[in-house]
Structure 1
């Protein structure tokens, strides 16, 4: 009897590469502060760091670092407006992450269907 081959070895690598591309997005969104920044930017359009820190106890320096992580993941980008730097949400990368989650959900559905079929036999 041959040992079971992992799903990655059976050709799921192409699906895995999509998940791998989304990993930085999920890592960036895994932080509560960054998730809040995304929520604010989604609701408020392009905002400056001063606007993003107003009414919070988080420093501008901390927000700048969090925005850079989000920018590295492709979730936000900055716009120069005179001497000011505004930050804006970039929905394209989040859509990619959603598609990755859809892929995972489909895999779970398939696995549960196989399990149900096996149990009913």
Structure 2
């Protein structure tokens, strides 16, 4: 995997600085993927607000969205998230402690 630039890491951590987006990433990190409707319900936000936050997270490379029929599903890009944290704490292997076995 190519080394992540400081600009990429800054975009990731800026996206995570918002409490709602951090909550969304934490929620998604616990699941393989979730449907947008279920994410919005769990987070207590509207679909319009979820869409806004998804865009920021996707632009940072943290989430992958996929449309299936009329529903949109989202999942965390665990490799990107783990790599960003590994730059901050290089002496520790974050990937396994954050996510267990990475697929």
TM above 0.5, yes or no, is yes
Q: Counterpart in 2 of 1:89?
A: 76
Matched, 1:43 2:15: no
Give distance in 1, aligned partners of 2:45 and 2:82: 28
The answer as to whether partners of 2:24 and 2:43 remain within 8 angstroms in 1 is no
Secondary structure (helix, strand or coil) at the match of 2:5 reads helix
Cα RMSD over matched residues?
A: 2.1
Q: Which moved more, 1:40-49 or 1:24-33?
A: 40-49
More helix per residue = 1
Runs of 4+ in 1 over 2 A off after TM superposition: 17-21
C-alpha change, 1:55 and 1:91, in structure 2 (3 Å) is closer
Given that 1:18 and 1:100 are in contact with CA atoms closer than 8 Å, whether structure 2 keeps it comes out as: no
TM-score, normalised to structure 1, is 0.65
1:1-121 residue pairs with structure 2 within 5 A?
A: 18-102=5-89
Seen in structure 2, the aligned counterparts of structure 1 residues 57 and 21 have a Cα distance that, compared at 3 Å, is closer
Match of 2:45, SS? coil
User: Any stretches of 5+ residues in structure 1 without a counterpart?
Assistant: 1-16, 106-121
**TM superposition score normalised by structure 2:** 0.75
- Please report how far the alpha carbon of residue 22 of structure 1 lies from its aligned counterpart in structure 2 after TM superposition: 0.6
Aligned residues: 89
When Rg is computed on C-alpha atoms for both structures, the one with the higher figure is: 1
